[in-house]
Structure 1
Amino acid sequence: MSAMVIFDRAAVIRHRDRAAPRLARLRPVLDDLAARVLDRLDDTGRSFATALDVGGRGVVAPLLRARGLAVVSTDLSPAMASACGGLAVAADEEALPFGTGRFDLIVAHLALHWVNDLPGALIQLRRSLKPEGLFLASLPLLGTLDELRTALIEAEAALTGGASPRVSPFPDLADCAALLGRAGFALPIAEREVIDFDYADPAALLRDLRDAGETNATIARSRRTVPRLLFPMALAALSPAGRLRTRLHLGVLTGWGS
């Protein structure tokens, strides 16, 4: 699995760099998603002092600092790292620059689904945890944006006779739990939350994905000019009544250092 190269990491950096100045427009949604994940901290009955925020889009770090933690933020994108405020560094999740046992809390919120070597990244994150430190992560699961994926494939096939991947592949919940165990985390737990988004303007879904830095970055994506009718045709198929509902299957992962 670690040998597979699915994502163009240079494209991920470009997309997140471009998205960083637009994050304020999405702040209510980003705040809500981060709060859903960080609520797990209250259930642990533990206190934490030093935290690593991985890819938190400028939302997670302030929430952790408000809890009294000393926070270091990191992101693959320099611009996105800067958006976190405080102590921040641009770094690759697949090659973290931190020593062993550096943090007693690591939060990787919506940050690991563009990683090629997810098992390797999880091992590095576990090594950066102090013994009995907590790892808390979230990422989109299989089922997310399924309707958009299908509509784009069908529209492109009708327009061109073929189709290329335009929505990222997502992992299954059971795979996430297994990967936590393989990476050496104790008491691994993987949970699913299903969150619906309702759009009066179907095109707003594509704008939100762009402004969150979630534009397609698969290696297998087409580099050709997108057919002019592709997205209007796909969105029309998704929203015959003029409204669009889509679903985020959010996986929330927890594991403890050992």
Structure 2
Amino acid sequence: MSKNETSTVRIFDRQAIELRRKRATTKSSAHDFMFQEVAKRLIQRITDVKRSFGLTIDLGARTKHLKQMLSKEESINNIISLGLIRDLKDYDLVGNEEVMPFKGASADLLVSNLVFHWTNDLVGTLIQCRQILKPDGLFLAALFGGNTLTELRQVMIEVENEISGGIWPRISPLIQLADAATLLQRSGYNLPVADTDTITVTYSDAFSLMRDLRGMGETNATLARKRHFSKRGIFSQVAERYHMLFADSKGRIPATFQIIYLTGWAPDETQPLPLKPGTAAQRLADALDSTEQSAGDSAKPKI
């Protein structure tokens, strides 16, 4: 075991993650809408980059959608997909996204669709991705952010505290946007960008939402999760409270999914560098069409 592996705080149970993904593959077509939708959004971001890519890696392939969409793009020539489940034929290589089997400086584009929120060492994984990329190679990943399932988290905490007098981590912890941006910068990428989308899905009840989460392989896999059966009636009360607090006029409940996108480039001497302070050709106040004020004053719009 390497020094990095021994020093990493383990939050997630990787064996449980593999088991959940394996179970999800048997019924993925009924629950893979989120992977499909986010794959479309990743493709749009790739097409916004006006360049061609040689070797492209679909890292942690949860479904076949991303690779299929990538293969339709004329700017992408050679695609290799890496997935976790050994007996699934939807991807080319079997491997763990925490320890990747690729040579350094071998890929032009590395894309990951809703995988990295399950890694124990996100910085280490991001660094590996940068090392796999050729100079000026593009890294693009989507992962669930901290506002995901905010309604379900709130209801779970309230109900379990009332019934049990305590709280168990029933939903996996997820990264916040600001933290994701910091980690991307720490990992050595040039021109790093972290931004976010919110996708709201409505359900007839909380049980339908939980069935979708199981079908997606996205149920709790923390090492600290509760290992024994819950008290009778807790999930019925969760469903009732969820409906009471969040149902719309048609009786449907919302579920929020925050998608964080990470974009960065492997360093290359041809890339533009940020301007030094005081060297900009145009003042920010002019660009914003406002009057520059001293520190502590608010800028006033020009009339």
Q: TM bucket by the smaller chain?
A: over 0.9
2:66 to 35, 57, 60: 60
What does 1:39-188 correspond to in 2, within 5 Å? 39-57=44-62, 58-67=64-73, 68-79=76-87, 82-85=88-91, 88-188=92-192
1:244 to 222, 246, 253: 253
> What is the rounded CA distance, in whole Å, between the counterparts of 2:57 and 2:231 in structure 1?
42
What does 1:10-25 correspond to in 2, within 5 Å? 10-25=15-30
Bigger mean CA deviation after superposition, 7-16 or 56-65: 56-65
> What is the rounded CA distance, in whole Å, between the counterparts of 1:214 and 1:3 in structure 2?
22
The residue that corresponds to 1:36 in the other structure is 41
Is the CA contact 2:206–2:238 (under 8 Å) kept in the aligned structure 1?
Answer: no
- Kindly provide the amino acid, as one letter, of the partner of residue 262 in structure 2: L
- Kindly provide the amino acid, as one letter, of the partner of residue 247 in structure 1: T
Bigger mean CA deviation after superposition, 229-238 or 127-136: 229-238
> What is the rounded CA distance, in whole Å, between the counterparts of 2:90 and 2:126 in structure 1?
22
Gaps of 5+ in 1: none
| Larger relative contact order (CA 8 Å, sep ≥ 6) | 1
- SS for the counterpart of 1:70 is strand
Is the CA contact 1:110–1:139 (under 8 Å) kept in the aligned structure 2?
Answer: yes
> What is the rounded CA distance, in whole Å, between the counterparts of 1:168 and 1:125 in structure 2?
24
- Kindly provide the amino acid, as one letter, of the partner of residue 250 in structure 1: I
Residue 66 of structure 1 and its aligned partner are, at CA, apart by: 1.7
Residue 83 of structure 1 and its aligned partner are, at CA, apart by: 5.0
Deviations along 1:160-182, one digit per CA (max 9) or x if unpaired, are 22221011111111111111111
Residue 153 of structure 1 and its aligned partner are, at CA, apart by: 1.8
- SS for the counterpart of 2:27 is helix
Q: Give the number of equivalent residue pairs.
A: 254
Residue 157 of structure 1 and its aligned partner are, at CA, apart by: 1.9
Bigger mean CA deviation after superposition, 96-105 or 230-239: 230-239
Deviations along 1:138-193, one digit per CA (max 9) or x if unpaired, are 11111111221121122122222222101111111111111111111110000110
1:199 to 195, 200, 203: 203
1:214 to 195, 214, 218: 218
Residue 107 of structure 1 and its aligned partner are, at CA, apart by: 0.5
Residue 226 of structure 1 and its aligned partner are, at CA, apart by: 2.1
> What is the rounded CA distance, in whole Å, between the counterparts of 2:35 and 2:112 in structure 1?
14
> What is the rounded CA distance, in whole Å, between the counterparts of 2:232 and 2:35 in structure 1?
30
TM-score of the two chains, using structure 2 as the length reference? 0.80
> What is the rounded CA distance, in whole Å, between the counterparts of 1:149 and 1:201 in structure 2?
15
Deviations along 1:42-99, one digit per CA (max 9) or x if unpaired, are 11111112111112322111111122432111123325xx3534xx222112211111
- Kindly provide the amino acid, as one letter, of the partner of residue 207 in structure 2: A
The percent identity for this pair of structures is 39
- Kindly provide the amino acid, as one letter, of the partner of residue 41 in structure 2: R
Relative to structure 1, the CA distance from residue 28 to residue 113 in structure 2 (aligned partners, 3 Å threshold; closer, same or farther) is closer
Residue 17 of structure 1 and its aligned partner are, at CA, apart by: 0.7
The residue that corresponds to 2:236 in the other structure is 232
> What is the rounded CA distance, in whole Å, between the counterparts of 2:211 and 2:183 in structure 1?
32
TM-score of the two chains, using structure 1 as the length reference? 0.93
RMSD: 1.6
Indicate the structure (1 or 2) with the bigger Cα radius of gyration. 2
